[in-house]
Chains A and B, each alone.
Chain A
Amino acid sequence: MSIVDTGDSTAAVVQDSVARPRRTVDRVLAGNAWLVFLFLYLPILVLIVLSFNDNDRVGVWTEFSVRWYGEMFENSRIMGALRTSILVAVLSTAVSTVLGTAAALSLERFRYRSQRAFDGLLYLPVIIPDITMAVMLLLFFVQAFDIVLLVTGVGLSRGLGTITLAHIAFNISFVALVVRARLSGLDASLEEAAADLYASRWQAFRRVTLPLIAPGVAGGALLALTLSLDDVVIAEFVSGAGTTTLPVYVFGALRRGVSPLINAVSVLMLVGSILLVVGSLAISRRRTGG
């Protein structure tokens, strides 16, 4: 830059001297990016490859086989856990999407006392560690079932119901968070315009607000579904002896030691969640036409 400007040729030299270190930096950055992507994807690829390994020992490759997938689909405990997982995920997503969206509307579009307390209550499940939430809910269900037994004589046990109730408890907050982000970016005057045009409250919600927040609601529901399928800690604590979810089954099996069967189950879970995300991305892209 300190070179005296004597014409076009020096201008090019000046530009070059400025650009060169940046190009090196850029190359280093690009190299780092490739390494990060390798770090992110290599474990997943290794897992997938090893799930097609015929050997009983996990780390030693012998030959390609789908034997573990066959065993997985014939294992009634695994299939039962898969059913439980899907049922819990769908039920908890449905309930928490409705409740979370309502909570988001209530906090963003209205003003009332006690609003700030609810705001805090809604944030807490997001920041609390899984293990604390798991312990809380375990003690709650134990205590509640004790009381139910004492009062009505009915002995309840932990299982599908308690896992679903627990998943709704943390999913409400995540749905509300996503829908609120969407709502706060929207112009409230659109709803007021609908009201001015004699739309009833329900009509204004159904025809104006809901279509506008739909991407947020769908995003919240997808997050809820993913978190429910992802959860192992809370389900581990609030599930009973009979019913477990697939992650809890895998976690228990890992404690006993690795087996190639677990590789196959893991790939099944991996493919399920990736299909879920890629599918929803494709749908949202088609809708926005981008």
Chain B
Amino acid sequence: MAEQKPVRIAVDIGGTFTDLQIQDARTGQVHALKTPSTPQDPSIGLITGVEEAAARFGFAPTEIGRLLHGSTIATNAVLERKLPKGALITTRGFEDVLEIGRHMRKDVYALKAEPRSVLIPRQLRFGVAERITADGAVETPLDEDAVGELAIRLVELGVEAVAIMFLHGYRNPVHEERAREILLTAAPDLSVSTSFEVSPEIREFERCSTTVLNALLQPVISGYLTQVRARLAAAGVSAPLYLVQSNGGVVSPEDAARLPAKLLLSGPAGGAMAMDALAKQHGRLNLVGIDMGGTSSDVSVVTDGAIGETTESEIDGLPVRLPMIDIRTIGAGGGSLASVQQGALRVGPESAGAEPGPACYGRGGKRPTVTDGNVVLGRVDPEAFLGGEMVLQVESSREAFDVNICKNLNLSDAAAAEGVVAVANTHMAGAVRLSLFEKGADPADFSLVPFGGAAGLHACALAEELAVSEIIFPSNASTLSARGILDADLRWDFSKSAMTVATPDTLASLSTKMAELVADAARKLEQEQIPETDQQIEISADLRYRGQAYEITTPWLEISAADAHADSAALKALCDRFHELHQTRFSHNAPDDLVEVVALRAVATGKLEKHGARAAERAVPAPESTEREVCIAGKWRTVPTISREEALAAGAPMTGPLLVCEEYTVLLIAPGWQLSPLGHGDLLARRIGETA
């Protein structure tokens, strides 16, 4: 979709910084900007960023055509439990499903169970008489009087949000919808979510969990969006606002407020989307991205040019069953704490978090972290950390190592620091390897893409651990997430539970469901006034062999919006594709076994115009120093430091060791690696002796 006004802004609000990417169609340039986040009211940081950008890059707020907004507001509301009082209405006899969950524990030898997250307490979970069977038939009609009485009681109890989940409600929503109608008639101010509308898929616990999250987030997100829109209007910005979802697409504030569960895991989505763009830009089909943050790191994977998606994820132990970008989060980051236990060095899973943070922050942290390790090793310029926002206290890092590690293990500062970094690297490498292994992929076929503030220092070591021979250092690594958002399209997901065997006998019912699904998707695109040329509808089916417990989402390429009719040839093509995917992912298949269709899916996309933008050229800042003393492999050596611009301008490949200093991040090119420009402002490091 073309926009009338020249400026598009992507904003990614993180815990510490609010990152902006600004694209101006008049110059074709993309600018980056960082401003401190304002956690109490994130919209303040957002407006500050927009105003700063307008002043610095020369545009008026009225010239902004679209504002794409990524945030962790939904995520944080859940993590910090800043949620309204909610209730659950469900089939009588199944009020405890939300609490019972799936039984499996993570800490195998615990005598005290890890606390389980249950967002709605038992006294606010209400069963009503009703029953729909697995085939969608009504066995017991809904007790409407009971729902009416409940509505009054909920208001008396001060409940703001209600989730409705009836067994097999994914199959037949009649009771869920009627119950909502009764509630809203009696209590129009309640926020009500039904499982059919949020996540119409089989498996009651996961669907219930997702619906409850949605219900509790509705008031939170509505409130926030009202605030943002008021602030934007006051600042003279009339551009439409779009919110980033966990699936990598954006939606209107109205959709976001209705289905806020779709925002829950959108934090890392921007980075993954940027990876997708990088893959296309550089013609590299296989990328593995690692975004290293303070307390955790996110791993995302592009295989054969496509970013991985999943429908099974969780937040804080609460399942979220919605399509989203597949990201593996590991509990290792710059803030991971090192310690000595029974004579052994351990790193993590405990983290110093943002407060007090690493010892070098000087905020009272006394135990050494991975970041402290990098400081002690001279790999971080203490004067230039986070763009000079914070001066790091090298002595505090050293002392933390002395007291906690060196004495116990009889090691020097540098040896202990290098050890902690090495151990953190094995944690991350292990997670990357598992992420690839579960997709049936080999790390050797991948290029590593480090981004976020800290990954540039660890990339070469990680690549060596993984036997990866090539690293792409993207431009704007510290605001890459915002860069990914800038290229987002509008996206809506639709699904329908099917639970039927894929045989010609069931084709008629599958075909009907498919037609309904495509119609839903087409209707949405029309409502949103997406021009026909920018519309796209993609169909897929979740398939498995009969009796299996896990499905593979299989693209159904034979079905299109124009021709939504499924015939037996199309069904066979779908099943064949499933057998193939099963072989790749699970190393075997069974073409003679019955295939079961668990769900049908449609993705409706409204494409936003891409400008083929290039990064704005920046003046090469005069490097403050041209070399640093850095410890690598137990030796202190003088390592040249250059700016990214110098690296990009270099005529011949530059050989490590080398530090590339950027405003918010540092890249360590280790000995044995060679750095050269890749185009589009990106850099490529290759192991010496390896060719493309």
Real binding pair = no
